[in-house]
Amino acid sequence: MAGKMSIRHRLVAAVLALFVTLACTVPFMSPTPTPIPVVVVVTSSQPTSLPPSPEPPTATAAPTETPITHSLYPVEMKLPSGIAYDVDSKDTAPEHRAPYGDSYKLNRFERPFTRQAMDYLPDLDIVTFRITADDTWYYVFAELNGDDPNNPELDPRYGVELDLDRDGHGDYLIWAAPPFTDQWSADHVQVYADKNHDTGGPSPERSDAPYNGDGYETLIFDGGRGDDPDLAWVRYVPTGSFLIEFAFKRSLAGSTFMWGVVADGGIKDPSKYYYNDRFTEEQAGSPEKSEPYYPINEVYAVDNTCREAYGFTPNGYEPLLCPRPEAPPATQTVGCVNPGQYHDQASCEAAGCAWVIDPRYIAAVVYHCVAP
């Protein structure tokens, strides 16, 4: 009995030892840890949901410029008979000088030459200028010595200045740029106004340099853009030399005004008109070798004209007026004067008169002295 109990005790002890060993070595027998809660703090700067994808930008078409529509066009006009002349520098060009006609103080330029070198530029040398009109338009013709108004190296500007109140200060400048064709076009024509009346400085008949006015400062027409799309036109008329022909509305100038033309391949800046107020004569130079400031310098490659009157008879005192032709001297009567004072053939014929039969007498032959 004692032996059986000893064996049983040993068996129980072995089972207990095995259980203890398994309890210490088997991992799933350990307790499951309690999970730590995670707290997420949402602030106002963090969206609680993803923002929607932005819409792709819609392509915007570039704005298109409204096309210019013209309703009135200039017509074909014959050259008017009335003509004004400008100094022609062609004959003295080989000597690199102007013959005369450049009066800097009076804003009269005869400078169709390059700066300092004085090489001749015939496309800028105005020879004649004239004007005519119809019911709608004024037409101005400027004749030049050259043959290429589209000269790419020169890129010239041709213009018409209008002085409506005859005081020497320009009121409007019609200004045309290449390309020129033989068809009327407004595409490269501009019209400037001087609304503050400072072209010419304090005095239009002398140089006020250095003067910092703004010349023709207001652009009122630009290639058809403006209040009147038909205001001003230009074309090139090839002839033996060439003509630049302008047409502009009568409404721009009125019925009486003074006018002149300009060819500019140098400064080409309407806001600096008049150039003789912008630069001193020493700075500008001179195209005449007899002058102390020869050759030309700051004011170069430009030719302009004196001003003619339109629609009125000038009194001779208008600023910048073209010189008027001198009145011919009173003609002296030569030959027979008061033939009735002579009563004989000798004295009658000596006075240059004629001794002839008087037809009033029928019964007798009577002579008397008459004008031949």
**Percentage of the chain with pLDDT > 90?**
65
pLDDT at 43: 43
pLDDT, residue 117, reads 98
**Is 33 within the bounds of a domain?**
no
Residue 206 corresponds to which amino acid? R
- 38 token code pair: 């995670």
| Average pLDDT of every residue of the chain | 85
**Could you read off the pLDDT of 142-169 as tens digits, one per residue?**
999 999 999 999 999 999 999 999 999 9
- 345 and 276 housed in the same domain: no
Amino acid at 54: P
- Looking at 310, 327, 349, the residue that finishes a domain is 310
Residue 106 domain-assigned (yes or no): yes
Please work out, in degrees rounded to the nearest 5, the angle formed at the alpha carbon of residue 229 by the alpha carbons of 225 and 230.
Answer: 140
Quote the CA–CA distance of 171 and 193 in Å, as a whole number. 6
Bigger pLDDT: 175 vs 368: 175
At residue 336 the predicted structure's pLDDT band, cuts being 50, 70 and 90, is: confident
Answer yes or no: is 324 within a domain: no
**Is 362 a residue whose pLDDT tops 80?**
no
Specify whether 352 is located in the same domain as 203.
no
Residues 306 and 354 in one domain: no
What average pLDDT does this structure show over 123-135? Answer: 97
pLDDT digits (tens, 9 = 90+) for 15-55: 445 444 444 444 434 444 444 444 444 444 444 445 555 66
Buried b (16+ CB within 10 A) or exposed e, 191-209: bbbbeeebbbbeebebbbb
How many other β-carbons are positioned within 10 Å of the β-carbon of residue 251? Answer: 9
Q: What pLDDT score does 85 carry? A: 95
Residues 138 and 281 in one domain: yes
- 247 plus 349 within the same structural domain: no
Domain carrying residue 354: 339-370
Please check whether residue 24 lies inside any domain of the structure.
no
My answer on whether 221 and 264 are in the same domain is yes
- Domain membership of residue 16 (yes or no) is no
The predicted structure's pLDDT at residue 348: 82
Written in H, E and C, the secondary structure of the chain is CHHHHHHHHHHHHHHHHHHHHHHHHCHHHCCCCCCCCCCCCCCCCCCCCCCCCCCCCCCCCCCCCCCCCCCCCCCCCCCCCCCEECCCCCCCHHHCCCCCCCEHHHCECEECECCCCCCECHHHCEEEEEEEECCCEEEEEEEECCCCCCCCCCCCEEEEEEECCCCCCCCEEEEECCCCCCCCECCCEEEEECCCCCCCCCCCCCCCCCCCCCCCCEEEEECCEECCCCCEEEEEEECCCEEEEEEEEHHHHCCCEEEEEEEECCCCCHHHCCHHHHCCHHHHCCCCCCCCCCCCCCCCCEEECCEEEECCCCCCCCCCECCCCCCCCCCCCCCCCCHHHCCCHHHHHHCCCEEEECCCCCCCCCEEEECC
Claim to verify: residue 351 and residue 246 sit in the same structural domain: no
| Count of structural domains within the chain | 2
pLDDT score of 295 more than 90: yes
Do 213 and 283 sit in the same domain of this protein?
yes
Same domain as 236, residue 347: no
Give yes or no for residue 115 having a pLDDT over 60. Answer: yes
Rounded Cα distance between 66 and 325, Å, is 51
In a domain, 51, yes or no: no
239 and 106: one domain? yes
**Residue 62 pLDDT > 70, yes or no?**
no
Q: Do residues 214 and 264 both lie within one domain? A: yes
pLDDT one-digit tens code per residue, 186-233: 999 999 999 999 999 999 989 999 999 999 999 999 999 999 999 999
Residue 280 maps to a domain: yes
Residues 241 and 172 in one domain: yes
More confidently predicted of 361 and 46? 361
Phi, psi of 350 (to 5 degrees): -65, -30
Domain-located, residue 330: no
